Amino acid sequence: MSDEKNLSDDLNEMLGDAKEGTKKAADKAEKLAGEAKEKAKEYAKEAKETASEFSKSAKETFASSDNKKILAGVLAILLGVFGIHKFILGYNKEGIIILVITLILGVLTCGIAGWVMSILGLIEGIIYLTKSDEEFYNTYQVGKKPWF
């Protein structure tokens, strides 16, 4: 009987140790899960901020270079006779020159100056639209090349 009692005590002790080990493992797993959840939140927040910065940067790039290229090119083709494309690119003096040539010399030459300005606008519009975005930006917005 004493062997049975010792065996029973040993089993109870082992069972207690197993329960205690299980509880420690569960506590450790809960702690690690909490830490993982916090890290996931941090990474999600960083990813969201990075995506937001990238989006903002992309919008600024598009608005500053590509959008002006297309707008200036189309306006040069359609309304080049009035120099609108020059005003879009910030070349006010050149825009006024084209406008004056069209209006004043157009009247004096019975519209021939207007036709010449419209052909020049067409040529400039084609040049704008055939350049790469980077080349257009560097040439007309950074380099400030007002003519062709």
The answer to the question of residue 148 being in a domain is: no
Which amino acid type is present at position 64?
A: S
Mean pLDDT is lowest, of 39-48, 68-77, 113-122, 128-137, for 39-48
- What are the Cα distances from residue 66, in Å, to 18, 131, 138, 139? 68, 11, 12, 13
The reply to whether 114 falls in a domain is yes
Q: Are 80 and 120 in contact (CB under 8 A)?
A: yes
For residue 147, being part of any structural domain is answered with: no
Q: At what angle do helices 112-130 and 92-100 cross, to 10 degrees?
A: 150
Q: Is residue 107 part of a domain?
A: yes
Number of structural domains (the chain) is 1
| Domain-located, residue 11 | yes
Mean pLDDT of the chain: 82
Return the pLDDT at 96: 93
Domain containing residue 91? 2-142
8 belongs to a structural domain: yes
| Predicted TM-score of the model (pTM) | 0.54
Does some domain include residue 81? yes
